[in-house]
Structures are given as structure tokens and as C-alpha cells.
Amino acid sequence: MTPEIPFRRKVVEPVSCIKGGWELIRSQYWLFVGMTLVGVLIGGAVPIILMGPMMCGLNLAFLKTRRGEPIEFGTLFKGFDYFGQALIAALLHSIPVIVIVGNEVTGVDPGLLDLSDSIFHIPMQGGKKSFNVAIAFGIAAYQLK
């Protein structure tokens, strides 16, 4: 059972996050665009194996920029210095996760429940016995993060 997590409004402000991201890359916008395009093209050639190091290199460029350190196009390829870790991260991101959510009246088909690796129930308070499907999926997705 997961612990009760209090809901706090306005903890993350999306507009300020986008503005902060823009301020971070604004002075080197075209360099980041080029690095992203090349990283996606090379990473897409052999998706699992090359995408990890390419995304690692791109993230290294973002971190260096955040620290005020200079970057160059070759920073993209520094991800290969962490090939093992980047490959493991790419493999973990490629593991499929399927969330099956039943409808409010009949729930999930018992046959699907038998095939499932794990099953969880979201407890309700009050008179209702189930959440709306969209709300239930949102809660499940949040718990899987």
C-alpha cells in the first residue's frame, strides 16, 4: 500500500518552467537544435543501443549549460563515455508497461486479471465505489512514474 501523498496546488508552474528552459538555451538555440536533430538521427539508426548515449550527451550539454560551462557540438558524443549506463537507461525506458483500467460498473475482465503480473486497487472514501476511468488511469500513471 502506498502512503498517502498530500496534493499541493501550484507546486510546479509550467509557464515558468518553459521560460526557464528558454533562458537556459536561448544564447545557443541553434546549437541545441542541431545537437538534438543529429542525436535523434543517429540514435534512431539503432534505437536501443545508440539512443541512450545520444540522449546522455544531450543531457550533458544541458547540465554544462546550466553550470555556466561552455559546450560545443562534440559534447553530444560525450554520452559514449557513459555507454554502459546510457544503454541500461535506454533499455529500462523501452520496457513496455501496460495499464489496464476497468470501467466503473463491471471493472476488469477476470481473464485479464489472471494474465496480469500485478494488480492494485485504489481505495475510495465516501459513497462511490469507483473512480472515473480517466481519473483512475491518472492515479495509476502517477504511481508508476
**Best mean pLDDT range from 10-14, 74-78, 136-140:** 74-78
Mean pLDDT rounded to a whole number for the chain:
84
Residues 6+ apart with CB under 8 A from 100: 108, 112, 116
Which pTM value belongs to this model?
0.60
- pLDDT cut 70: percent of the chain above it: 89
- Classified as helix, coil or strand, 59 is helix
The conformation of residue 95, written as its DSSP 8-state character, comes to S
Residues 6+ apart with CB under 8 A from 116: 100
The x, y and z cell numbers of residue 58, run together, are: 544531450
Question: For the residues 23-28, what does the mean pLDDT come to?
Answer: 94
Q: How many CB atoms lie within 10 A of CB 57?
A: 24
